[in-house]
Amino acid sequence: MYNDYSITKTITPAEYMEMRKAVGWGLFPLEEAQAGLSNSYIWCIRDNGTGSPVGLGRVIWDKGYVMYIADIIVIPEYQGKGLGRVLMEQVMDFIHEQLKPGYRFMVSLCSAKGKEEFYKKFGFVVRPNEDVGPGMHQWFTSEEIEG
Ligand SMILES: CC(C)(COP(=O)(O)OP(=O)(O)OC[C@H]1O[C@@H](n2cnc3c(N)ncnc32)[C@H](O)[C@@H]1OP(=O)(O)O)[C@@H](O)C(=O)NCCC(=O)NCCS
């Protein structure tokens, strides 16, 4: 892994949008992407041959008990090689490192359809279950066109 790839703590907004595009996710303005990235913990796996990002992990943390895994992306040509696992291991190590004595964190994520088994490998449980209801979300989109 470490001869072929490096992990950096940054990714540009344009690179981030390219990665989202590569896995068919929605795009948004670079300014909005930059704001989100600036307020996130980032793990970007780069191919040492090209320098390009091929994997991304992103965590948002309120510095209290709430953490959210916002993006785990491996671009299609690089999937199935263990890079998703590397990203999740980095994220899980980070979470454990932040736990001070007596602290508790609730770490949430929205699994893409069919990726639940991937996240279960790292201890996440599917909702709803007998203890908790389903997760819920809503998208908000501006109708305004800039310029
Ligand atoms: C989900 C994703 C990050 C996995 O990355 P990857 O590099 O292909 O995964 P890895 O090769 O590291 O696989 C890690 C483990 O998860 C398993 N796994 C990966 N995808 C899986 C899936 N869809 N279902 C079940 N198991 C899966 C692998 O078999 C492997 O198991 P092992 O380590 O016990 O042998 C990648 O498919 C992806 O980016 N998909 C598009 C974006 C996406 O949907 N991200 C999740 C958003 S919530």
pLDDT in tens, 12-47: 999 999 999 999 999 999 999 999 999 999 999 999
Ligand 1 centre distance from Cα of residue 80 (Å) = 7
- pLDDT class of 147 with cuts at 50, 70, 90: low
For ligand 1, is residue 115 a contact (CB within 6 Å)?
yes
Query: pTM of the full predicted structure?
Result: 0.96
Helices 30-38, 13-22: axis angle to 10 degrees equals 100
- pLDDT class of 143 with cuts at 50, 70, 90: confident
Count CA within 13 A, CB hemisphere, residue 60: 10
Dihedral angle sign, alpha carbons of residues 115, 116, 117, 122: positive
CATH superfamily placement of domain 5-120:
Gcn5-related N-acetyltransferase (GNAT) (3.40.630.30)
Residue 1 has pLDDT above 60, yes or no: yes
Give me the pLDDT at residue 108, please: 98
- Where do the H-state alpha helices sit in the chain? 13-22, 30-38, 83-98, 116-120
Ligand 1 centre distance from Cα of residue 64 (Å) = 29
Ligand 1 centre distance from Cα of residue 143 (Å) = 35
pLDDT in tens, 59-81: 999 999 999 999 999 999 999 99
- pLDDT class of 146 with cuts at 50, 70, 90: low
Q: Whose CA is nearest to atom 4 of ligand 1?
A: 84
Ligand 1 centre distance from Cα of residue 146 (Å) = 37
For ligand 1, is residue 127 a contact (CB within 6 Å)?
no
